Structure 1
């Protein structure tokens, strides 16, 4: 997607972007997408197992990938019915791709499960999704996952079969020939559980048409060229792995090199040896690649573009990628409930737009910045809630949770994201915080992102996050949780309070200060503020309470998340 048409010429008069419908949508299922490409380029390599030993890497052409997906679909249909749910509990193994397309062809819904989950978490997902089958890796990082699955089976009434991925090839030969069912593009294909940043995981229900088109537009817009090679270290239980990379590659007739887990040296080696042209890396991954001691020993001449997102991508990092690697960067922003990406920067955008904005909306996606109370579209540049409406991107809903779905999805199709931000006259978005993170102190709305941005500029602070704590008089008070650059030389509460007095209105200044060595985050790198709040309220995370007169009420202790 080049920056042309309305992306270059639009000048808005209010914070509303009309859907760009100039690009046609494909009314395809995942199975149809694979069949179309396999018929077109059967001998093109579709999938490479990116393990460290090159001599042991398995490879699939498009013809072979389709063959194995249909073998698996046949085996599934001999044991389960179209419409049933099949869970996958595994790290990045190539069998994820076979199972994803096997389920799609069989008309079944794949449920993604984080391999780091323990027994109670696995049980929750299996019961919530009503999964009838579970594919798993038998052992992962010392965890006997097969034993765990067998342990909780009696608590999951729907679960009829557990299949070890090590024996998947044998399993694919267990089915008798069968006629594949007709699958509609709007049928569900994937259930992906939200990361639980608000403390309550919900199963987002994807459909085929949304997955096919969203991943196609995103991959193309971010710089994956036709026939490109995507080196993919993103977790397959996440939209970045099983969606953007896996489906995006197929839509662009490319090759996916699936990395077992992120290791900068292995990623660099795979780019060199497999001719990698593209990768999706979160900012911390890009930093690790750039700072890898032996990076300059690798031939990265095939590499053309990076895509990044999930957290703020600093200008200095984009400049380093351009200068040191000589490649482009596309910054993406989105939400699982919208099949991934709703906006992205263009490769030719300025560094300012790349790092200070979230880019412009994806094709066929309306976006408005609305007043959180009235829903009315706000003037250009004013802060409000991002709301999205799309003919193909919106989720089918939260699986089995109509009341939760109704809280975010209106009858006229608008999805209320809970993200706060603004839109400029060109349609570029900027994020300022989360509506649910908003603190209300004495009737004043306080947005944590503003305070966090200030604190992160302090010379002794590595990272900071701001949350609201209950207060009988004010309703809520502002608390700041700080990761100092040096725990032995952390800034004092007096120093930080003075810093805030100089830079913030009085009602925005933190009254509570906590110091930690790390934040609780999800497997996909999202900060879990609710865990910080719970830890403070339970007394697990101690704090210093500071008023303007600098009176210390409690002792401050370092605290590490366990």
Structure 2
């Protein structure tokens, strides 16, 4: 365990490796913009911290609403150095969502870009902030005169403690409206270092960050992990699969972290326009089911190793991770073992007792990585973290005698059909091996006879036609008949969170509203 802060890890890196390249700006089209050494990045972060310290008091919150830019990284480090709490906001948010996060987080300032993927962010901010007197300033990140403005002489910055709040990260919204998880400096810095180390990152490696910085994987593992291991971070402004594959080739990328939907898009781009991926050594993925078939395809296409992570925003974010040295079964069928200094237990969701080895229960965690709590939401915090300090993830799984964990599904996603518990992940794992299916999601919906029935949402591979009889045969090859989906819905694309996770609650709600009636496979 280290006692560094978010700002401290950059200062330490600049002192040890001042002339090493730290950050490379990759534009959406794949072209390269600015480059920063560790010394340059630290100098700019210190200058911005002095500016912030003249405008905000220690402990105040400032929000960042932007895609991945060097200014994002600078503000993350500068806010930490100034003793401020950074609130991260999804750049896809609309007015209602932005207003909620700014109000709920008690942000005093908003730092943004003018637009992102056609979203008129500056216009939305003007509308929202006119009704939020708590917001003292709205700063365009591209306006460096305003960004670095000094409102008086720089004060002596107070000491920041590793256990102080560093960020408020809002949950990804796969099950509804987000809650703000308050994360400490200690949890973010250590979690990032442990995860990147288990990934096999080495000093001088080039790491390509395609994950959004508003997400814990992007701003924690990606940025803080890269800095602590003295890597070279290529920051993609937005995820565009063709540009990402080009960057892997031109920047000789060794490490990539991406959710499964991104990896599928990268494989499809690579199939259309092959790129040289010989430099790519390791891909990390998680945030959703990672099917064994996808791992096999990636290793064959890119010639790289693969590591799976599991966690959530509330755990900063990683709880478990596989290793390249694990056996094939452990690498493709489990989510690995707990990362260092983290306790895991599988608990009966009914009585909270520790489950037997191999029995299904809720995955619970205790340790430095747990959030300090949900922002201004003590009731939700008490429901998530019990009196003994165990954080209840809401995910169901099993653990073997060696500590390897397998995911069986979400507690809330579990389908009870005719009194039998069914787990969507098991059905999804069976379906994704079908050669004509690119992506799949399974949900349960109410049924008057069975209580709930299974609905499968499918995205076919290009130029393929799915047949119900063929799909049924495929599922029943591996699973009992009751687990066969009752209805099959064909989609061109899935509703996703900003971090690339499939929003199952949206699928369920739209199905029940009849929105997919014309897309049922018959």
TM-score, scaled to structure 2: 0.91
Over residues 428-473 of structure 1, what are the superposed CA-to-partner deviations in whole Å (9 max), with x where a residue is unaligned? 1111111111123444333223333344455665544332323456
1:208 and 2:185 are equivalent in the alignment: yes
Over residues 310-361 of structure 1, what are the superposed CA-to-partner deviations in whole Å (9 max), with x where a residue is unaligned? 2343445444544554432222111111101111111122332211111111
Aligned mates of 1:425, 1:362 — CA distance in 2? 16
Match of 1:44 in 2: 20
Asked if the contact 2:278/2:303 (under 8 Å) is kept, the reply is no
Aligned mates of 1:279, 1:500 — CA distance in 2? 32
Specify which of 185, 199, 206 is matched with residue 162 of structure 2: 185
Range with greater deviation from structure 2 (43-52 or 78-87) = 43-52
Match of 1:147 in 2: 123
1:151/1:53 CA distance change after superposition, 3 Å: closer
Match of 2:111 in 1: 135
Specify which of 57, 62, 80 is matched with residue 56 of structure 2: 80
Aligned mates of 1:256, 1:488 — CA distance in 2? 38
Specify which of 352, 355, 375 is matched with residue 378 of structure 1: 355
Match of 1:241 in 2: 218
Asked if the contact 1:517/1:559 (under 8 Å) is kept, the reply is no
Q: CA deviation at 1:82?
A: 1.1
SS at match of 1:292: helix
Asked if the contact 1:312/1:355 (under 8 Å) is kept, the reply is no
Q: CA deviation at 1:389?
A: 0.9
Specify which of 497, 514, 518 is matched with residue 493 of structure 2: 518
Q: CA deviation at 1:143?
A: 3.0
Aligned mates of 1:72, 1:135 — CA distance in 2? 13
Q: CA deviation at 1:153?
A: 1.3
Match of 1:27 in 2: 3
1:466/1:55 CA distance change after superposition, 3 Å: closer
SS at match of 2:412: helix
Q: CA deviation at 1:479?
A: 3.4
Asked if the contact 2:246/2:275 (under 8 Å) is kept, the reply is no
Match of 1:539 in 2: 514
Match of 1:292 in 2: 270
SS at match of 2:455: strand
Asked if the contact 1:387/1:417 (under 8 Å) is kept, the reply is yes
Q: CA deviation at 1:47?
A: 1.3
Aligned mates of 2:335, 2:232 — CA distance in 1? 28
Match of 2:411 in 1: 435
**What is the aligned length?**
519
Over residues 236-267 of structure 1, what are the superposed CA-to-partner deviations in whole Å (9 max), with x where a residue is unaligned? 11112111110001111222111112234433
Q: CA deviation at 1:283?
A: 3.4
Q: CA deviation at 1:399?
A: 0.9
Aligned mates of 1:490, 1:213 — CA distance in 2? 46
Asked if the contact 1:71/1:173 (under 8 Å) is kept, the reply is no
1:453/1:253 CA distance change after superposition, 3 Å: closer
Match of 2:504 in 1: 529
Q: CA deviation at 1:425?
A: 2.1
1:157/1:315 CA distance change after superposition, 3 Å: same
SS at match of 1:58: strand
Match of 1:470 in 2: 446
1:262 and 2:223 are equivalent in the alignment: no
Aligned mates of 2:83, 2:50 — CA distance in 1? 11
Match of 1:253 in 2: 230
1:482/1:407 CA distance change after superposition, 3 Å: same
1:388 and 2:349 are equivalent in the alignment: no
1:425/1:215 CA distance change after superposition, 3 Å: same
Match of 2:36 in 1: 60
Asked if the contact 1:48/1:60 (under 8 Å) is kept, the reply is yes
SS at match of 1:139: coil
Asked if the contact 2:396/2:410 (under 8 Å) is kept, the reply is yes
SS at match of 1:166: coil
Q: Which runs of 5+ in 1 are unaligned?
A: 1-24, 543-556
SS at match of 1:527: coil
Aligned mates of 2:129, 2:208 — CA distance in 1? 36
TM-score, scaled to structure 1: 0.85
Within a 5 Å distance, the mapping from 1:102-121 to structure 2 comes to 102-121=78-97
